[in-house]
Structures are given as structure tokens and as C-alpha cells.
Structure 1
Amino acid sequence: MTYCIGILVREGMVMMGDTRTNAGVDNISTYRKLRILETGDDRVMTVASAGSLSVTQSALSRVQLGIVMPDSDEREFVASAPTVFRAAQIVGQGLSEAKASIDLVVKDDSIRTDASLLFGGSIDSRRPRMFLIYGAGNFIECQPDTPFLQIGEHKYGKPVLDRMVNFETPMAEAIKIALISFSATMRSNLAVGLPIDIVTVRTGTSRVELSHRIDAEDHYYRDINDRWSNALRAAAAAIPLPSYASEPSRESLYD
């Protein structure tokens, strides 16, 4: 399993992905899920993947070789796409083709070919855009009302993002909150694990501002784990007990 987050705030874009891949409790490996797909003088594109590793690797290989879109007769590349939206269409088509190709040869129902991608970037220093691309190639775009997207094992970390992230959140704060979301996820699911890769793109630029990997020896991440656990315990302790819990019961469910 995996967990990837994309956060899009006024100051810019933050993307994170873990690196754990498992095919059972005795077959756990480390694979980079977050990649810088394209960089150049006028653009930066990043992609994070979740689901079937064979599907996502095939999809990204197809994208690098170029995709013939349904409305075109020529191969198109993210390196020359006029907009991030068009680049997302190219990546989506690559994912759809890869999944369809693998589905043709996979006959075992126990083999999952589900896959999804987070794709984002900026061209010509325009504001970053970010998309969640599904296996069929369709996608949704991240919007200011809910300025984050998730793929993979998202349910444990989503409450953190729901409560703490908004479009005006500073980018450094968004990084911290995303790491708290990862901490909450890894606390409850062993299929998500370190290292965590981070990429950021600041609004008004079309270049990577930060590319960083957090491993098990990272002091800041270990401090986040401890502080978040302690803060939750303290918050729970500070909430008054319910009145009905301290009063003698007057009713019985078994009467």
C-alpha cells in the first residue's frame, strides 16, 4: 500500500509520498512513489503514484515515450504541453492505456490492477495546478475550497488535513501538517512507511523549490511523532467527561 498527499495553497504546491510497497507481510520493498516528471526553463511537473506498481510504472514509461491522444494523430509529451491541464490529459491517457493493456493479460482475480496518480506542476510561472487521475484516465482538479488531494491509504490522515489545511495556510505550515497526516497514517497502518519524499513548487515560479527525503533518522519527523501523540493525549484529558458517564445508570438496555 502507499500514501501520497498533494496540497495546493496560495503560496504554492506541496506533494509527498511514502516509499513502502508490499505484496504480503513477508514481501516488503522500498520504491519511490513521488517523481519529478519534467523540468525545464519554463515548466516543472511532478507525479505521485498509488496502486498497482506494474500499472503505474508502465503508465509513466508510456508518458515519457509520448502519447497519441484521441483527438490527435501525433505523439504528445508533457515536456511540450501548452498547459498543465493538457499535460494531465496526456498522463491520464497513459495511465488508461497501461491499465487496459495489463488487464488483458491478467486473468487472476486476486491480482489488483487499480492505480491512481497525483499530478501537478506549473508552466511559464503560472499558478500551480494539481489533479487526481483515476485508472480510467479521468481526473479531478484540486480547488481552493478543499486544497488537498490524497491517494492510497488516505483514511487515517484525512481528518488531520480536514481540520488544519485551508487555501491561506502558509506553505511551510502545509508541509508540517502533511507530515502530521503521515504520522497518523503510519501509526495505524504498517503498509505505509518511511522514507517520505517531499517536493514543493512556489507560486510564481516553474521550478522545484524543495526536494527532500525524510528517513527513520530524521529528528524533526521523530519530534513530530512525539509531540502529536502528546498533544492528542493532553487534548483528550482536557475535555470534560460526559455528565451521563459520572451518574448512576437509571436505564438498562436489557430491561
Structure 2
Amino acid sequence: MTYCVGMMLDKGLVLMSDTRTNSGVDNISVFRKMFHWQVPGERMIAVMTAGNLATTQAVISQLEERTKTPEDRQNSLLEAPTMFQVASEIGKLLQSTIEERQKVNGSNGKGRFTASIILAGQIAGMEPRLFMIYPEGNFIEASLDTPFFQIGETKYGRPIIIRGYDRSMSFEDAVKLLMVSFDSTLKANLSVGLPLDLMVIERDDYAPTHTRRISHDDEYFQAISSSWGDALKSAFHSLPDYSFYQG
């Protein structure tokens, strides 16, 4: 399993992903799930992946090839005129990759090769945009009503983001919020694990404004985890007491 979050702010975009993949409790590996491409001063594109590792790696490899092969410029992430068209191209690629693997494996392969992708970025002269791309190749875009997307093991960290999110918040507060969300997920599900990858993309920057890999010995993440646990205990004990004898 995995956990990835893409968040839209007034100031730009914040992305975070874990790196754990596993096929059983005794076969755990670390694989990067966050990737990005950029043209200085013109565009910044980032994706995060969840699902079958062979499928997501095949998609990322093909996206990499499209940025390097002149003969395929019409499909290149570096040439598409809008982020909507980037999302459309990635959706088609994801769908076709899944279908190819299902054909090779027959009926036994159905459902095994599913994957989903969060796409974030900005092209010069346009607004930063955030998309969720589904295995079927279709996608939805973030909005004022849906300002963040999650893929993978979403249920444990979602309540944290819903309660704490504010579109006008600073990048620093957004990172703090995501760290709490990830800490809650890590505590509840062993299929999500450190290290974590973080990327901040400021509006009109067209490059990663801030990146960081958060490992097991990261002092700030440890402080967030410890302080959040203490704060929850304190909040719990401050709640009104329940009485069996109340009217």
C-alpha cells in the first residue's frame, strides 16, 4: 500500500508521499513514488503514484522517455500546452498500460495491475493545477470544494487534513499538517512507511521551491509525532467527564 497527498494552496502546491511497497510482511522495499519534470521559467510538473508497482514504474518510465525523445514531442510533458492536456495524456498512458498487462495475464490479471496518480504543476501564464487520475484514464481536478487529493491508504490521515486545512495557510503550516496526517497513517497501518518525500511548489516558480526526504531519524518529524500524541492526550483529558449518574 502507500499514502500520497497533493494539496492546493493560494501560494501554490504541497506534495508528500511515502516510499513503502510490500508484498507480504516479510517483503518490504523502498521505492520513490514522487517524480517531477521542469522547464525553467516555463513549466513545472510533478506526479505521485499508488498501486501496482510494475504498472506505476512502467508509466513513469514511459513519461521519462517522452521528455527525452524528439520524435515523440507531440506527447511530451514538456510540450503539452495546458495541464489539462498533460492530465489527459497521462490518463491515456495509465489506462493503456493497465490494459496491456491484463491482456498478457488474462482473466487472472484483472484488478492486479490497478494504479492511480496525482498530477500537480503549472505552465507559464496559467494557474497552478492539481488532478487525480484514475486507473480507467479519467480524472478530476481540485477545486475550492475539493482542494486536496489522497491516493493509497487515505482513511487514517484524511480527518486530520479536513479539520486543519485552510487554503490561505502558509507552506510551513501545510507541511506541518501533512506530517501530522502521515504520522497518524503510519501509526495505524504498517503498509505505509518512512522515508517520506516532500515537495513544495510555489506559484509562478516553475521549479521545486523546497524538497526534503524525511527519514526515520528526522528530528522535526519525531518532534511532530511526539507533540501530536501528547496534544491528543491533553485534549482528551480536557473534555467534560462522562457520568453514569447524570440526568
Q: Calculate the TM-score normalised by the size of structure 2.
A: 0.92
Q: CA deviation at 1:40?
A: 3.5
Q: Which amino acid aligns with 1:85?
A: F
Which segments of 5 or more consecutive residues in structure 2 lack a partner in the other structure? none
Please state how far the C-alpha of 1:248 moved relative to its aligned partner.
8.1
- Report how far residue 234 of structure 1 moved: 0.6
Match of 1:99 in 2: 98
In structure 2, what is the Cα distance between the partners aligned to 1:203 and 1:84? 14
- 1:143-162 correspondence to structure 2 within 5 Å: 143-162=143-162
The count of aligned residue pairs is 242
Is contact 2:19-2:194 (8 Å) kept?
yes
Equivalent residue number for residue 89 of structure 1:
88
Higher helix share: 2
Q: CA RMSD in A?
A: 2.0
1:179: which partner in 2? 179
Answer whether contact 2:11 2:202 (CA < 8 A) is retained: yes
Contact 1:33 1:50 in 2 (8 A): yes
Against the structure 1 CA distance between its residues 40 and 104, is the aligned structure 2 distance closer, same or farther, given a 3 Å change threshold?
farther
Shift of the 37–206 alpha-carbon distance from structure 1 to 2, 3 Å rule, reads closer
**What are the ranges of 5 or more consecutive residues in structure 1 without an aligned counterpart?**
68-72, 250-255
SS in 2 for 1:246: coil
Match of 1:246 among 226, 244, 247: 244
Give the TM-score taking structure 1 as reference length. Answer: 0.89
Identity score, percent: 36
Query: 1:33 aligned to 2:33?
Result: yes
Please tell me whether residue 129 in structure 1 is matched to residue 129 in structure 2.
yes
Q: CA deviation at 1:128?
A: 1.2
Shift of 1:38: 3.8
SS in 1 for 2:143: coil
How far off its partner does 1:143 sit?
A: 1.1
Rg larger for: 1
Q: 1:111 to 1:135 in 2, by over 3 A?
A: closer
**8 Å contact from structure 1 (residues 125, 205) kept in 2:** no
CA–CA distance in 1 between the matches of 2:111 and 2:130?
29
The 1:85–1:111 alpha-carbon spacing in structure 2 relative to 1, beyond 3 Å, is closer
